Amino acid sequence: MWRGCEEPRLFCDLEMIAKISDIIKAMESFAPFHLAEEWDNVGLQVGQNDWPVKKVWIALDPAPDVVEAACSKDVDLIIAHHPLIFRPLKSIDFSTPVGYVINMAVRHRIAIFSAHTNLDSAKDGINDVIAKRIGLNNLKVLGKVRGAENAQGIGRIGELDEKKELADFALEIKKILKLKSVKIAGKPDLPVKSVSVCTGSGSSLMNNFFLSGSQVYISGDLGYHDARAVEAANLGLIDIGHFASEHLIVEVLAERLQKVLVESEFDVKVEACKLEKDPFVIL
C-alpha cells in the first residue's frame, strides 16, 4: 500500500503498512502457538486480522491503565504476555475490568494479542532470557519438553561457571535484575552450582526441581510449604516475584519484533510500555 505518494512508484517510500495478521505471523516465529499449554488462551483476543498497524506496545498485562494510555498514544496493537480473556466469558459487562478494557479497545480500534505460555516455553523465550541474564549455561528444559526441539518447554536447568553460596547468589540476582528485594529459603551458605528457574508462578514445577539435581530453584509466587519442603531437602529457593521474573521480556520482545518488522520493510513502530510496576509494594 502506497501512502501520500505523488511521485512515480519507483521513487515512493518502499515501507509497507502492516496488518494485524502480519504482526501475528512475526510473533508466531518467536512464540509458536502450538507451544502454549492446553489450559492457556493465546493469540488475538480483541480486534481483527485486517486492521492496519502503525504502532505496537509490548506489555506484561493488558490492564486498564495500560489500555487507557494506549488510547491517547495512537497505539494500534497491544501485545501482552498475560491474556486479557483467560476463561470463557458469559457476558461482556463494561463495568468489570475485562469488559472495560474490551470497550475501550474496540472504541479506539486497538487490538489486543497475548503470547503467554508459548513465550515461556519457546527457545529464546522468557525462561531462556532470564536464565542467561543470571549467568546460567548448558540450558535444558525443567518441565515437559514441548515440540520437536528439546530446547522448548516450561522452565530451565542450567549451570553456573563456578559455585556460589545461596545468599551471595541471591544478592547477585537482585543486582542484575535491579530488584528491590528477594526472598530466600534454605541455608544461606548452601553451595550452588546447578540452578533451576521458572518464570511467573513456579510452584507447579517443584517436583521437577527436586528431580533435577539442582541446588536452588528461582521463580515467583513460591509458597510457605514450598520453602519448608526445600529446607527439609537441604536445598534452596530464591523467590524474585512474579512481575520481576517476567517483565524483563517486555524490552527484549520490543527490540526483537521491531528488528523483524524493519527487515520485512513494514512501517511499524514497536515500543515497550513504560507504565507497568509490580502490584506488590515492600513497605
Return left, alpha or beta for 100; rule: phi > 0 is left, psi -120 to 50 is alpha, else beta.
alpha
Closest among 277, 281, 278, 270 to 58, alpha carbons compared:
270
Give yes or no for a contact between 156 and 196, defined as CB atoms under 8 angstroms apart: yes
- Write the pLDDT tens digit of every residue in 108-146: 999 999 999 999 999 999 999 999 999 999 999 999 998
Residues 141, 128: Cα–Cα separation, whole Å: 9
- Cβ neighbours of 159 (radius 10 Å): 17
Domains of the chain, each with CATH number or no CATH: 9-116+247-272 (3.40.1390.30), 122-240 (3.40.1390.30)
Residues 52, 77: Cα–Cα separation, whole Å: 9
- Of the two residues 17 and 2, the one the predictor is more confident about is 17
Give yes or no for a contact between 256 and 136, defined as CB atoms under 8 angstroms apart: no
Torsion of CA 123, 128, 133, 138, to 10 degrees: -100
- How many CA atoms are closer than 13 Å to the CA of 187, on its beta-carbon side? 11
| Percent above pLDDT 90 for the chain | 92
199's grid cell = 518464570
Closest among 84, 80, 74, 142 to 110, alpha carbons compared:
74
- How many CA atoms are closer than 13 Å to the CA of 58, on its beta-carbon side? 23
- Averaged confidence pLDDT in the chain: 94
What global pTM score does this model have? Answer: 0.92
The 8-class DSSP code of residue 34 comes to G
Which residue, chain included where needed, has cell 486498564?
A: 64
The CA-atom distances, in angstroms, between 31 and each of 68, 114, 132, 137, 246 are 27, 10, 18, 22, 15
- Write the pLDDT tens digit of every residue in 229-280: 999 999 999 999 999 999 999 999 999 999 999 999 999 999 999 999 999 9
Numbers of helices and strands, H then E, in the chain: 10, 13
Residues 218, 96: Cα–Cα separation, whole Å: 34
The whole-number pLDDT of residue 12 equals 42
- Cβ neighbours of 2 (radius 10 Å): 12
User: Which band of pLDDT confidence, cut at 50, 70 and 90, is reported for residue 149?
Assistant: confident
The whole-number pLDDT of residue 150 equals 79
